[in-house]
Amino acid sequence: MKWFQNAACGAWRRVEAETSSKEVCLWTHTGPKHSQQTSLSVMRVEEDPSYPDHPERFDSWSQVLCREGLTGRCYWEVERKGEVGIGVTYRGITRRGGGVDSRLGGNNKSWSLECHDDNSYSVWYNDSRAHIRLPPPVSTRVGVYVDRPAGSLSFYRVSPGVGGSSDTLTHIRTFQTTFTQEDLLPGFAFGFGSGSVWVVVYDHHHITANIAKSDN
């Protein structure tokens, strides 16, 4: 596991291969006015930080996107506090208005996993919802795996290992699709009260082995 910080652009970095990496920055123009965005974290706040308006900003939903698109195979984990939404969306998602066209998971341009504090999840795509409840343990960590060549997007609950053992990944939901050439962006939603997220990015060559074990 590696943590990456870039205070200049609010970036998190994923390792594409052993010799290359790519930064994926939080796109601060898209974030809600009631949010504070630092290097690898986003937090919803009640006070208005007075960010200037921008045409790419979501003007109704409390959502923020990352700046750079996802390519190839990517895996990242989100440590959350409170009830938040963790999603993936095409860059062309509508930013204006409070309808489903601009909500993560409310349309055919985005997918979202809403994380609840009772160890349950709501998975959204094209305004269709599936409610999933997992057995204990309770965890505030979620893993997201995107395999663009295979056309799959998967969500996992991540539970800490016991006695120094590896973390346990519990499969929540996989979407199968044919991704277009449009940029895919990670996104976060905070429409469920106060909440915050912290992102950790893994080398996908390492994590795919753990995912395979969890799916067996």
Q: Per-residue pLDDT tens for 180-216? A: 999 999 999 986 556 778 887 776 665 666 665 565 5
Q: Which of 113, 27, 112, 117 is nearest to 81 (CA)?
A: 117
Average pLDDT over residues 8-36: 35
Q: 70-215 sits in which CATH class?
A: mainly beta
Residues linked to residue 35 through DSSP beta bridges, in sequence order: 44
Coil, helix or strand for 28? helix
Domain ranges across the chain = 70-215
pTM of the model: 0.77
Cα three-residue angle 146-152-157, rounded to 5 degrees: 60
Contacts of 154 by beta carbon, 8 Å cutoff, 6+ apart: 144, 145, 171, 172, 173, 174, 175, 211
pLDDT in tens, 110-149: 999 999 988 899 999 999 999 999 999 999 999 999 999 9
